[in-house]
Amino acid sequence: MNWLARVALVLVIIGALNWLLVGVFQWDLVAALFGGNTLRDASMLSRVVYTLVGLSGLYCISLLFGDNRVTTD
């Protein structure tokens, strides 16, 4: 994986983890770090979606450190 793909994947993981925090705790880490309203009111359905995106980001951590070679048979 080239450096640009790694940087993009790291940013996606950070964003997904932020959405996980919003989905589970209704707390926005990015807003806390850079200023803004840290508590978010959201419907239950949107919280479920945020949580699923966050869990997907946790899975993507394995892609960052895994063997990503493409092989042809």
1 within a domain of the structure (yes/no): yes
Least-confidence region, from 33-37, 47-51, 53-57: 33-37
Has residue 14 been placed in a domain? yes
pLDDT at 67 over 80: no
User: Is residue 56 included in any domain, yes or no?
Assistant: no
Q: CA 48, 52, 58, 61: dihedral to nearest 10 degrees?
A: -150
Asked whether residue 15 is domain-assigned, the answer is yes
pLDDT at 73: 61
Q: Tell me the percentage of the chain whose pLDDT exceeds 70.
A: 92
Distance CA 27, CA 39 (A): 5
Kindly report the average pLDDT of the chain as a whole number.
Answer: 85
- The reply to whether 19 falls in a domain is yes
Backbone φ and ψ of 39, nearest 5°? -100, 130
Domains identified in the chain, total number: 1
Give the domain range for residue 7: 1-25
CB neighbours of 37 closer than 8 A, spacing ≥ 6? Answer: 28, 31
Domain annotation covers residue 36 = no
Is the full-model pTM beyond 0.95? no
